[in-house]
Amino acid sequence: MNKKTFKKIIIALSFVFLLLSPLYIDKTTVSVAVVDAKCRSYCKAFKKATSIWAGFFGKVSGVASQAVTIVSGLQPFGGKIIATLPCTGNGVTAFVMLPSAGVPGPYIVSPAGLRSYGAVVPGNNVIGMSYPGGVCVIIVAGYPIPFPVAQTVTVFPGMGTSLTP
C-alpha cells in the first residue's frame, strides 16, 4: 500500500468516525480539515520513524536481509552487537548482531532482561535466551510508530553483555 492510498484510507475512516460519533473541542465539531491535518502530521511522523528504522538497518546492510528470520520457541543466541536503537515508546532497546548462535535479529531487550554489565552498545558481545516476536515503538511528533522485531530477550535468564568490545 503506497502513502497516497494509506492517507485516503485514514481520511475516509476518520470521516466515518466523525459521522458516527462527533467529537467536540470547545463545543465545536471537529472538521474534516482538522482530521486531514492530523493525518498529514501522522504521515510525516510515520515517514520520519520509518527513516530512523531504515537507518538502523542501513548500518547492518549485510545482515538486514536475514534480519526478518523468526525462529519458534526459546532460542539461545550470542554474538557481537552491530547496531542499537532506543525504542522510545516502550522503553526497550533494539539491536542487531553478527551471530555466533541464533538469528541476527533485530532483537529487543528491556532493562529487566539485562544481566552482567548491561552494556548494549555496538561492538560488545552478548549471550542469552530469546523468544520469537516483539515490537519496537518509536515516538515521533507524539505518535507511537511500531516496528516488528524477530526476537525478544527473555527476562529470565535474560542477556549478558561484555563490559567492553
At position 136, the amino acid (one-letter code) is C
Domain with CATH 2.40.50 in the chain: 62-161
> In this predicted structure, what is the pLDDT of residue 125?
94
Pairwise CA distance, residues 129 & 113, whole Å: 10
How far, in Å, CA of 96 to CA of 122, rounded?
9
For residues 31-55, average pLDDT? 79
What per-residue confidence (pLDDT) applies to 46? 87
Average pLDDT, the chain: 78
> What's the one-letter identity of residue 53?
W
DSSP result, 2-65: -HHHHHHHHHHHHHHHHHHS--EETTEEPPHHHHHHHHHHHHHHHHHHHHHHHHHHHTTHHHHT
* CA atoms of 104 and 114, how far apart (whole Å): 18
Gap between the Cα atoms of 126 and 84, Å rounded: 13
Share of the chain above pLDDT 90, in %: 36
Q: Which pLDDT does position 24 carry in this prediction?
A: 42
Whole-number Cα distances in Å, 22 to 10, 12, 18, 89: 17, 15, 5, 29
- Residue 53, pLDDT score: 85
Q: What is the pLDDT of residues 83-139, one digit of tens each?
A: 999 999 999 999 999 989 888 889 999 999 998 788 899 999 999 999 999 999 999
- Distance between CA 21 and CA 72 in Å, rounded? 42
pLDDT of residue 28: 45
What CATH fold (topology level) applies to the domain 62-161? OB fold (Dihydrolipoamide Acetyltransferase, E2P) (2.40.50)
Cell of 134: 516483539
Distance CA 52, CA 44 (A): 13
pLDDT value at position 18?
A: 43
| Residue 13 and residue 36 in contact, taking contact as beta carbons nearer than 8 Å | no
